[in-house]
Amino acid sequence: MKKQLIGLAASLAFATSLVLAQSADPKNSPAQAKMPAPEVVLTGCIVQGSGPTVFLLDNARPQSDKVARGRTYRLESVAEDLDFHANLNKEVDITGVAEQKPAPASGQKVAEKDLPKLSARSVAVLSDKCTTVSGQ
């Protein structure tokens, strides 16, 4: 009986040390957990993508930086009432979460499916016409 208790205590101590080692691992630490991307406001032009339900935000740049080089994002609505079609070829501010992908080399074309995604929460029309279009 004494040997069984010693064996049980040793097993319990070993299991506890494994659990503590895992919680001390920085990859599993709550402080190191992946934080959701922050919301951004991007200014650009809504253009038609390759299909009737595919829309792009062309020449998109941060709202606060009017001289930044524009990028193209593939739009995805996360709000039920967003109507990208109604705002085609209009300059807009879109609030949402932008996927972080490296910018392509200048002049390099990117396949539509490889464009970073912008999960849009709201759209505000700035102008009924686009001022510039970058073409990806």
Inter-residue contact 61 to 133 (CB < 8 Å): no
So what's the pLDDT on residue 5? 44
Instruction: Kindly report the number of other CB atoms within 10 A of residue 122's CB atom.
Output: 16
Give the model confidence (pLDDT) of 19-29 as tens digits: 444 554 444 54
pLDDT mean over 49-55: 93
Q: Residue 132 — very low, low, confident or very high, per pLDDT cuts 50/70/90?
A: low
Strands 55-62 and 40-48: antiparallel
Q: Residue 18 — very low, low, confident or very high, per pLDDT cuts 50/70/90?
A: very low
* CA proximity to 82, closest of 98, 99, 91, 94: 94
When comparing pLDDT for 108 and 118, which is higher? 118
Q: Which two tokens stand for residue 14?
A: 């070993």
So what's the pLDDT on residue 6? 53
- For the cut 70, the answer to whether the pLDDT of residue 125 exceeds it is yes
Inter-residue contact 95 to 64 (CB < 8 Å): no
